[in-house]
Amino acid sequence: MATISDVAERTGLSKATVSRVINNHPYISKEKRELVYKAMEELGYQPNPSARRLRGQLTNTIGVIVPRIVNPFFSYLVDALEQVAYENNYQVLMFQSDEKKDKELYFLNLLKTKQVDGLIMTAIENEREVIESYTRFGPILFCNEYLSQSEIPVVRVDQSKAAYIGTKHLLDRGYRKIAYCTGGLFVDDGKDKDRNIGFQKALNDHQININTAWVFINKHTIEDGRHVMRQIAGMNEKPDAIFTGSDEIAAGVILEAKSLGMKIPEDLAVMGFDDQPIAEMIDPALTTIQQPIKEMGTISVDMLLRLLKNQPLDQKHKELSVELVIRSST
């Protein structure tokens, strides 16, 4: 069985440096970390979790990977996760991937080095095979996201159905020229693929083709929403409604529309997603899709704790319902 001395010899680094990498010590270069992780993989070395617990280096800890903590949806989700974890004597460590594969891998390695007992991933950047390879080091659960053909447990809403409900609401109100903000292109492995499917299906049901000039890719923030609204204002043929994909983007659209002298919803109906507090605070109040964030967090922690205790899950794929919240923006 490989030891820390073997890892040090393989890398040419000192045992102290290897130990610092294993313990996620700051001020260690990326190159040295990668060198140590590679040697650990080649040698099959795993830190002794029992010894680490005795040293107080691992005590009932759950890691949560989010893409952007400044997005209120993930802030509220982490809050829900933390509260349930605390009630069960677990602490939560939050990691922000910034939608980068290398950062996500770095956090996955914390599971490998036994610095967290299990991981909840609220966003996914790497391929299925890569993420599944880490399940031998501890349980992983997807929350809010999933991977096709993966055996990793999931807690999520039906994003396709949610987008269909939102788009259908606009269509039922008589809007036919609908713009759309999405995280990725309309491809099988693109971001927001399920929402894209729901949006497209709703338009197809009304024999309406997608106008690609009205599709805005990789939008997330209030400033993105302002930029989208400025683009729309400069178009010769303008949409009469927009499904933004998040309340943040929707708020930016409304704020910029008002600064341009446009009226919501008379000149442009605006649909959000998530039902964040800003949805009620913005004027006019925002029509949006409400996601059950607290329920999602509660069930996710409960399922992960069962996995940590080697208890069977009643179901590995838990799907929650969304609700259309109609306000003044449509």
pLDDT in tens, 72-87: 899 999 999 999 999 9
Q: Between residues 27 and 237, which one has the greater pLDDT?
A: 237
Look up residue 134 and give its two tokens.
């880490």
The dihedral formed by the CA atoms of 22, 26, 27 and 30, expressed in degrees to the nearest 10: 50
Stretch 41-59: mean pLDDT, rounded? 63
The span from the CA of 158 to the CA of 166, in Å, is 13
> What's the pLDDT at 15?
87
> What's the pLDDT at 48?
62
Comparing CA positions, the residue from 71, 91, 70 lying closest to residue 81 is: 91
All structural domains of the chain: 4-44+60-156+294-319 (3.40.50.2300), 159-290 (3.40.50.2300)
Q: What band does 49 get if pLDDT is binned at 50, 70 and 90? A: low
Residue 321: other Cβ atoms inside 10 A: 12
User: Percent of the chain, pLDDT > 70?
Assistant: 92
Beta bridge partners of 120: 64, 141
pLDDT tens, residue by residue, 142-201: 999 888 788 899 999 999 999 999 999 999 999 999 999 987 665 555 557 899 999 999
Please give the radius of gyration of the chain, using alpha carbons only, rounded to the nearest integer.
23
> What's the pLDDT at 154?
96
Statement: residue 57 has pLDDT above 70: no
Q: Between residues 216 and 89, which one has the greater pLDDT?
A: 216
Q: Which residue type, as a one-letter code, is found at position 309?
A: K
Residue 83: which residues within 8 A CB-CB, separation 6 or more? Answer: 297
Q: What is the pTM of this model?
A: 0.79
Spell out a b/e string for 99-134, using b for 16 or more CB atoms within 10 Å of the CB, else e: beeebbbbbbbbbbbbbbbbbbbbbbbbeeeebeeb
